[in-house]
Amino acid sequence: MAIILRLDRVMADRKMPLGELAKRVGVADVNLSRIKTGKISAIRFSTLSSICRALRCQPGDLLEYVEDETDDLPAEEE
């Protein structure tokens, strides 16, 4: 299972360049670029909130859960 970041897609939909979003969010371009490319393992809720405010979107627009086919699912209780 994995969480995939869709920041690049939302930025493209909003026609928001990286530099402008970084300025609005108050983070360095390089840090926002890491978020955009998915090269992070965590994100602060305050940063996520600022990104959502700047892009006028919901967290679910930026995050997607994808389940691996190889993941074992727990047995359902009867």
- Cα 38 from Cα 47, distance rounded (Å): 15
Residue 61, classified by CB atoms within 10 Å of its CB into exposed (0-12), middle (13-18) or buried (19+), is middle
CATH of domain 2-66: 1.10.260.40
Mean of all residue pLDDT scores within the chain? 90
Residue 26 to residues 29, 34, 47: CA-CA distances in angstroms?
9, 15, 9
Q: What tens digit of pLDDT does each residue of 22-71 get? A: 999 999 999 999 999 989 999 999 999 999 999 999 999 999 999 887 65
- Cα 39 from Cα 30, distance rounded (Å): 11
| Domain boundaries, given as residue ranges, for the chain | 2-66
Q: What tens digit of pLDDT does each residue of 5-20 get? A: 999 999 999 999 999 9
